[in-house]
């Protein structure tokens, strides 16, 4: 199995080198960092740490993730994780296991309270997460406790989903599209750490509101589609 790790990054100069170096090299064939228009040395330090760096000038979390996935042509499994060190790459085996054992087509890291560092997940994100997972269970019949960014998916499954959301709705789009097609989506407990630097989502009111809007709107949008 060829496994590619895709890390979207925007101005993560201080964190990205740590994230890349924490990825277990014996498990993955390639690490791709997608520089989403950084004004700092994110690309330079990621490349020095051993990652392949590509650039995606269109701003947006989904745009960066899609660019990374499209840049990897021969992988069997795609892994997505954040570039701010909130996700722990050392837990990659746990994320991969259900897919490798053919028990899931998509695994989502679940940031459980007892494994989340104090202050790592702001209250507004916790509340929004509960609302969205409740809606996914109600509308799509998939029971999840989290819709976190740390995830693994079969590459052929990913291509079938035809991902298109360019911003904050990307994580839930992947879940609901997979659910509608009958793919197996499961949560895997993971650790969640305080990020390095200020969060662009939970760290600002505007970011939190935009993320919440896109997550809810995307869930409802695909519930209406056949």
Q: Where are the domains of the chain?
A: 3-224
What are the φ/ψ torsions at residue 223 (nearest 5 degrees)?
Answer: -70, -30
Q: Is the whole-model pTM more than 0.85? A: yes
- 1 and 31 in contact (C-beta within 8 Å)? no
pLDDT digit string (tens) for 70-106? 999 899 999 999 999 999 999 999 999 999 999 999 9
Closest CA to 107 of 70, 69, 144: 144
pLDDT digit string (tens) for 111-158? 988 899 998 888 888 888 899 999 999 999 999 999 999 999 999 999
Q: What is the pLDDT of residue 201?
A: 57
Neighbours of 119 (CB within 10 A): 9
Rg (CA), the chain: 16
- Report d(CA 223, CA 217) in Å as an integer: 10
Q: Which CATH number fits domain 3-224: 3.40.225.10, 3.90.550.10, 3.90.1170.50, 3.40.50.620?
A: 3.90.550.10
- Report d(CA 198, CA 201) in Å as an integer: 9
Read off the pLDDT band of 49 (50, 70, 90): very high
Tokens of 35: 């520089």
Q: What is the pLDDT of residue 214?
A: 75
Please state at what angle helix 205-224 crosses helix 170-180, rounded to 10 degrees.
20
């Amino acid at each position: 199995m060829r496994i590619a790790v895709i890390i979207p990054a925007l101005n993560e100069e201080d964190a990205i080198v740590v994230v890349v170096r924490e990825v277990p090299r014996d498990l993955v064939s390639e690490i791709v960092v997608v520089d989403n228009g950084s004004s700092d040395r994110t690309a330079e330090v990621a490349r020095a740490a051993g990652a392949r760096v590509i650039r995606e000038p269109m701003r947006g979390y989904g745009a960066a993730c899609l660019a990374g996935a499209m840049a990897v042509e021969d992988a069997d499994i795609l892994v997505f994780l954040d570039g701010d060190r909130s996700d722990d790459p050392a837990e990659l085996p746990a994320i991969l296991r259900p897919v490798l054992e053919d028990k899931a087509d998509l695994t989502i890291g679940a940031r459980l309270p007892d494994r989340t560092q104090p202050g790592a997940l702001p209250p507004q994100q916790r509340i929004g997460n509960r609302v969205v997972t409740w809606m996914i269970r109600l509308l799509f019949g998939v029971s999840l406790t989290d819709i976190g960014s740390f995830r693994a998916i079969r590459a052929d499954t990913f291509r079938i989903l035809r991902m298109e959301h360019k911003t904050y709705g990307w994580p839930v789009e992947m879940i609901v599209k997979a659910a509608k097609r009958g793919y197996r989506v499961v949560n895997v407990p993971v650790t969640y750490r305080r990020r390095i630097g200020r969060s662009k989502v939970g760290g600002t009111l505007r970011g939190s509101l935009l993320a919440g809007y896109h997550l809810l709107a995307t869930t409802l949008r695909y519930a209406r589609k056949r």
